[in-house]
Amino acid sequence: MERHYGMDWLRIGAFGLLIFYHVGMVFVTWGFHVKTADPADWVAVPMLLTNAWRLTLLFVVSGFASRALFAKSAGIRGFLRNRNARLLLPLAFGIALIVPPQSWVELVTQHGYTHGFLWFLTHDYFRFGTLDGIILPTWNHLWFVVYLWAYTLVLALLLSPRLSGAQALFDRAFGGIGVLWVPIVWLLVLRMALFPGVEDTHDLVTDGVAHLQYFPAFLFGFGLAGSQPARAALVRFWVPAAVLAVAGYAVVASVEIAYPGFAMPSRSIARAFHVAREVQCWASIAALIGVAERFWNRDGAWRPMLTEAVFPFYLIHQTVIILVEYWLKPLGIGPVAEFAILVPATVAGCWAFYLIGREIGWLRPLIGLRRKVSPKPEAVAADVQTA
């Protein structure tokens, strides 16, 4: 498969938005591991711009990337070996060392925990139980890696020589306007008819409604990577998709402005909110993929580095956000100043983690990077003779 630069840019942008979203979690009234002293209801309005679709988009993009990886792998076993190494090693590293500061800060700032971090790490974190209702150890934001690995295992069971037949069905289903309305109908049925009011738990075993949304999104991305008709349809319909996305967000934002904190006074208003949210979800994704296919499918000087840096950024960003806010909050400088410091500090921390980590050979696989391959002796000798 040829590399799709547009999807690379979309993946970079999606993870970049995720970082800003988690910065916003410090200032909105929703629950988070650390909060500013005075969270504000109005912050929910810009947060809702991406809230509906950000995670589903990540699974679509991950499915697309998995198809490219599968095409380069030595069969299903080679594909699984690669996925296990690239996902399970960073997951274990993250649970053991990256995530613990998040739980410690939450316990200290919200539950009155009095021990220092080293005590927490050596005495309480690996208790394999709960402390003041917080599960320890935990994966926190790394739940996405857990789900992606699980979906990869299921995908491997579905892969077979009949893949071409499944691809033909995909092309027929999504090679026209169905690429827009079929996923929207599924989301409406799922979230409003089958499981109304059921929220994601990020618990792999009990998160059935999330799996019914994210796993099909992952499979859609896998199929999309091999479907020229579906990609052409997304290019053709990206403008109406964008209009639907904006209209959906307008309804969602209007309801939040009128009834802050989702305090909707009637069932009809709540129903309108949820319908608009599901429409916004898929319409936004369809529009973004259409734009990536139509306008962004070209390389750039920064793309290779950013593509590699995305996963290390994802691993570390939430810990940086939480630690920086933990240090900022006692200063009493207010949310505006906190935000102005928190954003560049998070970006700087992510870059430092990636740039330092990529130079340390043993650390590279632990932060999701490929091992450096030393040049073969004969290649080095040839270069010397050429010089």
Q: What is the pLDDT of residues 321-350, one digit of tens each?
A: 999 999 999 999 999 999 999 999 999 999
| Sign, CA torsion 289/295/301/302 | negative
Q: 122: exposed, middle or buried (C-beta count within 10 Å: 0-12, 13-18, 19+)? A: exposed
- 3-class DSSP state of 129: strand
User: In this predicted model, what pLDDT tens digit does every residue of 122-143 receive, in sequence order?
Assistant: 999 999 999 999 999 999 999 9
pLDDT one-digit tens code per residue, 289-322: 999 999 999 999 999 999 999 999 999 999 999 9
Please compute the mean of the pLDDT values over residues 178-190 and round it to a whole number: 97
More confident residue, 377 or 80: 80
The full set of domain ranges for the chain reads 5-99+139-367
Cross-strand pairs, 135: 130
Distance CA 94, CA 353 (A): 13
pLDDT digits (tens, 9 = 90+) for 140-156: 999 999 999 999 999 99
Q: Is the pLDDT score of 382 beyond 60?
A: no
In this prediction the pTM is: 0.94
CA 253 – CA 273 distance, rounded (Å): 9
Could you report the per-residue pLDDT of 43-69, keeping only the tens digit for each? Answer: 999 999 999 999 999 999 999 999 999
Give me the pLDDT at residue 162, please: 67
Return the structure tokens found at 156: 């491997």
Q: What is the mean pLDDT of the chain?
A: 94
Q: What is the pLDDT of residues 197-211, one digit of tens each?
A: 899 999 999 999 999
Reading the block at residue 26, the tokens are: 């410090």
Q: Span 106-121, mean pLDDT? A: 97
The pLDDT score that the predictor gives to residue 333 is: 97
pLDDT at residue 386 above 90? Answer: no
Band (pLDDT 50/70/90 cuts) for residue 79 is: very high
Helix ranges (DSSP H) in 189-301 = 208-225, 228-236, 238-258, 267-295
- CA dihedral of 49, 52, 57, 59, whole degrees rounded to 10: 150
